[in-house]
């Protein structure tokens, strides 16, 4: 009972701290913004690590890769986009391992491979000579994120937090992907509504991103708590 109360207090403190950081992320700029963004992800990792079980270790490992990705994309100067996306592939691979361990579905694994090949094929057809390592890696990553979302939703009753977290993750990466595409690969006029939305003077990507990471961290804690409280099988 005491351990359960401590866990609830830990979760409450985690959520309060993340809410404070979320406010600063959405309202500040400069070095303060960078510190708040990275600290928020560090807290997600720490919370997941302290509350995980053996079954949810892949989620914790995914957050480790996320720390690496966000260092490259948020802290590093200049930003290391390619390395950041490679780290994010590690993130989605860890989440894929967790989901595959849960579902044990060969059909979903085949669909994942097909989706990755389809994404790379579309990138090659659409971009042609503009296809570079960053675009290829990004499409591989994006396809795995979509597949992780689909697979999580096949277990929605057991993985509500993770499922919603992946939806928000996808929304964040869609915003970033459109920003990158509009800046270099498929430029559009600044007068277009889509351009005005994705480049609005507001941290739109982090509006989705931080809640996604908080939900993913909470899912590791939730599953970990459930595993610890399962009754032991009789000898």
Q: Per-residue pLDDT for 232 more than 70?
A: no
The region that residue 173 occupies, defined by phi over 0 for left and psi between -120 and 50 for alpha, beta otherwise, is alpha
pLDDT band at 129 (very low <50, low <70, confident <90, very high): confident
**Residues 50-94 pLDDT 10s:** 999 999 999 999 999 999 999 999 999 999 999 999 999 999 999
Q: Indicate whether 225 pLDDT > 70.
A: no
pLDDT above 70 for 227? no
Q: Report residue 231's pLDDT band, with 50, 70 and 90 as the boundaries.
A: very low
| 83, two tokens | 């390395």
pTM: 0.87
pLDDT at 221 over 90: no
The torsion defined by the Cα of 53, 55, 56 and 60, in degrees rounded to 10, comes to: 90
pLDDT number for residue 4:
77
The residue that leads in pLDDT, 39 or 105, is: 39
Mean pLDDT of 91-98: 96
26 neighbors 206 (Cβ within 8 angstroms): yes
| pLDDT value of residue 179 | 78
What's the CA angle centered on 147, arms 156 and 97, to 5 degrees?
A: 80
Q: What one-character DSSP code corresponds to residue 112? A: H
CA 36/CA 101 separation, integer angstroms? 34
């Amino acid at each position: 009972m005491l351990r359960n109360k401590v866990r609830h207090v830990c979760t409450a403190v985690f959520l309060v701290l993340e809410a404070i950081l979320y406010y600063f992320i959405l309202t500040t700029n400069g070095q303060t913004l960078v510190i708040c963004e990275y600290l928020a992800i560090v807290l997600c990792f720490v919370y997941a690590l302290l509350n995980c079980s053996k079954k949810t270790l892949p989620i914790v490992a995914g957050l480790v890769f996320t720390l690496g990705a966000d260092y490259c994309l948020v802290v590093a100067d200049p930003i290391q986009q390619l390395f950041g996306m490679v780290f994010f592939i590690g993130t989605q691979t860890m989440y894929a391992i967790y989901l595959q361990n849960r579902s044990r579905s060969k059909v979903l694994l085949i669909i994942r491979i097909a989706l990755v090949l389809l994404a790379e094929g579309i990138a090659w057809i659409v971009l042609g000579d503009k296809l570079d390592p960053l675009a290829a890696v990004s499409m591989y990553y994006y396809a795995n994120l979509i597949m992780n979302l689909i697979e999580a939703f096949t277990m929605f009753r057991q993985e509500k937090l993770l499922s919603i977290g992946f939806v928000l993750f996808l929304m964040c990466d869609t915003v970033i992907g459109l920003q990158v595409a509009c800046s270099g690969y498929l430029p559009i006029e600044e007068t277009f509504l889509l351009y005005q939305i994705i480049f609005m003077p507001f941290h739109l990507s982090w509006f989705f991103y931080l809640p996604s990471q908080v939900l993913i961290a909470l899912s590791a804690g939730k599953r970990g708590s459930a595993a610890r409280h399962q009754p032991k099988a009789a000898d």
